[in-house]
A and B are shown apart, each in its own frame.
Chain A
Amino acid sequence: MIEFLTFFWRILPDLLAGLQVTLELWGISVVFGFLGGLLLALARVYGAKPIYYLATGWIEFIRGTPLLVQLFIIYYGLADVGILFRPFVAASIALIINTSSYQAEYIRGAIQSIQSGQRVAAESIGMNRIQMIRFIILPQALRIVIPPCSNEWVVMLKFTSLAFLVTVQEMMTKGEIIANRTFEFLKVYGILAIIYLIVVLFFTYSLDFLERKLEVPGLGTRG
């Protein structure tokens, strides 16, 4: 036990340095992925026909191909045609593109779940489309979308570990290096798993709190 604790203590600084990169990668992909998803969703719900088809086609393409393939195309593939990214940038782009397509579908569902009567009422008091989306539709849709999107955000944290395959110095990479050096595979990967778990739990409960805080009185689904 003492031996494990000293080992843990010795590798912890390295893992935490990796964790920082992991969290950066995750934060960027969640925030920009959400914004991208919002735009794609609006394009699908309110866009003119060409925009609708473009957004729909893009979403289907991204959701129909593996994240790892997307990541390799961006990092290794595009290098063939002279487009070079640093590993962190390539990983960020891949994660953003991937998650935005999934989040777009959650957000679209939430937007379409707002009763049409409210849209008619907004129009009847003279709101134009942008005002209606901004003041009536989105404030409700973005509340509704927290639970499904939080699922996607948790998935994204774990997907950041794929950045290891394009040499980003995130937590998984750090663990891999330590494990290969010490041959303590079970200990290192066990510790990694627990760190991921702690972050996920912390995040999930924070979102729970946020969801409760934003709840509209009388509309709660939590009872």
Chain B
Amino acid sequence: MQDILVTKNIHRSFGALEVLKGVSLSLQKGETKVIIGPSGTGKSTFLRCINQLTPPDKGEVWLEGIEVTNPKTDIYKIRQQIGMVFQHFNLFNHLSALNNVSVGLHRVKKLEKNEAKRMGLEALDRVGIRDKADSYPAELSGGQQQRVGIARALAMNPKVVLFDEPTSALDPELIGEVLEVMIKVAEEGMTILAVTHEMGFARSCAEEIIFMEKGRILEQGDPEKFFTEPEQERTKEFLHKITELYGNSKEGG
């Protein structure tokens, strides 16, 4: 299998604070990997380094054989191929759910308006929210907004989707509907790199769990081994803390 996304030795500092100290990982087509770790560890910064929203100081990002970090690469083209889902949804407030999804197709990919709408509706369908196409973000619940956010990322037909704590701003009872969609998207074969502490999702979808701390990958491995016999003492301690918080082996699907 060919690696779709590769990062090599990503470094990033903010002022004197070195947030990422050399993060390397790779994803094959259709794989799902989950990054966990304490807050302030650089997980979100790492995701933003991948699509250059926060350009790394050092290191390389490759997407299907193209070096994203090369200054000559058209980053706007690359970003169209990397979907991103945000903790706070970040929907465009002045656009209906449908237009939130289709604006990228119409304005960035330059598709005909009707074609963009058709594909937008399709994407809304995939996340089960087609009936809310004409609603505006402020009229939607958090869970519905996040599903629109996922549809917005999917509609661009990306090679990989980055999830940045997609459920951590949601009311507990709204988390389920978003996880359900994420699991469905993973099962449909999308390549996913997710920062999340939803262990149900990690267990049922992830090929690999990556534990990050203080800007480094401390441990990584398949979920079964990772949860049952982690190698590092620190991993054990962290897993213990989040299972206390999020419940033990709840199956997300």
B is a partner of A: yes
**Chain A residues at the B interface, C-beta cutoff of 8 Å:** 115, 117-118, 120-128, 131, 135-136, 139-140, 143, 216-219
Query: Is the CB–CB distance between B91 and A218 below 8 Å?
Result: no
Query: Is the CB–CB distance between A126 and B77 below 8 Å?
Result: yes
**Chain B residues at the A interface, C-beta cutoff of 8 Å:** 51, 53, 76-80, 82-84, 86, 88-94, 103-104, 107-109, 135-139, 149, 152-153, 156
8 tightest A-B contacts by CB? Answer: A218-B138, A126-B80, A117-B90, A121-B90, A125-B104, A218-B139, A124-B84, A126-B79
Assembly CA distance A155 to B104 (angstroms): 40
25 A-B contacts, Cβ less than 8 Å apart? A115-B90, A117-B90, A118-B91, A118-B92, A123-B53, A124-B82, A124-B153, A126-B77, A126-B79, A126-B80, A126-B104, A126-B108, A127-B76, A127-B108, A131-B108, A135-B103, A135-B107, A139-B94, A216-B93, A216-B94, A216-B136, A216-B138, A217-B139, A219-B93, A219-B136
How close is B206's CB to chain A, nearest CB, in angstroms?
22
Name A124's contact: one of B51, B94, B109, B139 (CB within 8 Å): B51
Assembly CA distance A126 to B89 (angstroms): 17
Assembly CA distance A120 to B162 (angstroms): 13
User: Which residues of the partner chain A approach B82 to less than 8 Å between Cβ atoms?
Assistant: 124
Q: Quick one: which of B77, B104, B109 has the most chain A CB within 10 A?
A: B104
Assembly CA distance A128 to B76 (angstroms): 7
Assembly CA distance A143 to B93 (angstroms): 12
User: Which residues of the partner chain B approach A139 to less than 8 Å between Cβ atoms?
Assistant: 94
Assembly CA distance A124 to B104 (angstroms): 10
User: Which residues of the partner chain B approach A123 to less than 8 Å between Cβ atoms?
Assistant: 53, 79
Known A125-B108, A131-B107, A135-B107; contact A219-B80, beta-carbon cutoff 8 A: no
How close is A48's CB to chain B, nearest CB, in angstroms?
18
How close is A111's CB to chain B, nearest CB, in angstroms?
13
Our count of residue pairs bridging A and B at CB distance below 8 angstroms stands at 78
Assembly CA distance A131 to B104 (angstroms): 10
Assembly CA distance A177 to B99 (angstroms): 57
User: Which residues of the partner chain B approach A127 to less than 8 Å between Cβ atoms?
Assistant: 76, 104, 107-108
Assembly CA distance A7 to B82 (angstroms): 75
Known A218-B136, A218-B137; contact A124-B92, beta-carbon cutoff 8 A: no
Assembly CA distance A99 to B60 (angstroms): 49
Name A120's contact: one of B80, B83, B90, B152 (CB within 8 Å): B90
Query: Is the CB–CB distance between B93 and A140 below 8 Å?
Result: yes
Query: Is the CB–CB distance between B86 and A125 below 8 Å?
Result: no
Query: Is the CB–CB distance between A136 and B51 below 8 Å?
Result: no
Query: Is the CB–CB distance between A219 and B138 below 8 Å?
Result: yes
* Chain B: CB-nearest residue to A115: B90
* Chain A: CB-nearest residue to B103: A135
User: Which residues of the partner chain B approach A122 to less than 8 Å between Cβ atoms?
Assistant: 92
How close is A146's CB to chain B, nearest CB, in angstroms?
13
User: Which residues of the partner chain B approach A125 to less than 8 Å between Cβ atoms?
Assistant: 79-80, 103-104, 108, 152-153, 156
Instruction: Please give 13 more A-B residue pairs, beta carbons under 8 A apart, in addition to A122-B92, A140-B93, A218-B137.
Output: A117-B86, A118-B91, A118-B93, A120-B86, A121-B92, A121-B149, A124-B83, A126-B79, A126-B108, A126-B109, A131-B107, A216-B138, A218-B138
